[in-house]
Amino acid sequence: MIIGTPPAEVASALAATGVRLGLFRDRLMWYPELPSTNDVAALMAAREASEGTVVVADAQTAGRGRRGRSWCSPPGAGLYVSVLLRPVPRAAALLTLAAGVALAEGIARSTGLRTTLKWPNDVYVDGRKLAGILAEAGTSPAGTSYAVLGFGLNVTRASYPPDVGVRATSLEVELGTIVDRGLVLAECLAALAQQYEALHGPDGSTVRQWRDWARPMLNRLVEWDHNATVARGVAEDVDDAGALLVRTASGIERILAGDVRWS
């Protein structure tokens, strides 16, 4: 069920994707404009909305990125999407990696574009950022825990200010053609549904798939802020808990969260 009136290409792509939307099939809410889809999804979680609720906005006026950054969200230029999930603790640990894999898969299936994942889940093309994910956990007043997984994906060149063009990119810039936003949304949601289901099953392939998409970023020099100094090492792998494993002069460091800069 779609609540609101998405553009025709979005409605038809969602309808055509059908059962492949999995848990996201039942309740998608489309808004012309919101401050932040993550905030609205969190409000819905606080009111015990069902798992799989999807909040999409054509534009955001206060789109948020990680680490307090803002996420530029002009109308019709990108995808601004948040989904409400209630993962079991084992699945919660790998949720952000699984979301990165899902975006990379959804983009590849809908456009043919091959992207690279940068830990934990930024989506890059040739060193420029195409999409980002903001995962936020909370507990409702009734005590139910939830995760809101929001993603922003640049579809047209207008999705970021011109001066950011050295470090950002969009699907249309990369492909040199008009992109069907509806198809990209539908395939990303279908891939996310599949990845989320796999996280709850026995197969344990999330980390292996993440590694495949992240390969160009591995075995490269990284640095990060640590105790008021800059630490450096070589990003080698992720472990089963999703931590980045970095080889430093004093051995392997496990990085669980934070900003890692690739050189």
- Min dist. Cβ of residue 248 to ligand BTN (A): 25
- Min dist. Cβ of residue 250 to ligand BTN (A): 30
User: 89: which residues sit within 8 A by CB, 6+ positions away?
Assistant: none
Exposed, middle or buried: residue 220 (CB in 10 Å: 0-12, 13-18, 19+)? exposed
User: 147: which residues sit within 8 A by CB, 6+ positions away?
Assistant: 84, 85, 86, 87, 92, 95, 135, 136, 137, 138
Q: List, in sequence order, the alpha helices (H) in the chain.
A: 8-17, 37-46, 89-93, 95-111, 171-175, 181-199, 206-214
Q: Residue 154, interface with ligand BTN (CB under 6 A)?
A: no
Interface with ligand BTN (CB under 6 A), residue from 11, 49, 66, 197: 66
Q: Residue 150, interface with ligand BTN (CB under 6 A)?
A: yes
Q: Residue 45, interface with ligand BTN (CB under 6 A)?
A: no
Q: Please name the residue that has the structure tokens 């996420």.
A: 71
- Min dist. Cβ of residue 36 to ligand BTN (A): 3
- Residue type for position 211: R
Instruction: Classify the C-alpha dihedral 158-160-163-164 as positive or negative.
Output: negative
User: 208: which residues sit within 8 A by CB, 6+ positions away?
Assistant: none
Size of the site for ligand BTN (CB under 6 A): 20
Q: Residue 80, interface with ligand BTN (CB under 6 A)?
A: yes
Q: Residue 53, interface with ligand BTN (CB under 6 A)?
A: no
Q: Residue 25, interface with ligand BTN (CB under 6 A)?
A: no
Q: Residue 65, interface with ligand BTN (CB under 6 A)?
A: yes
- Which one, 51 or 122, has the nearer CB to ligand BTN? 122
- Which one, 29 or 134, has the nearer CB to ligand BTN? 134
The residues that touch ligand BTN, with contacts defined as CB under 6 A, are 36-38, 60, 63-66, 69, 71, 80-82, 122, 132-134, 150-152
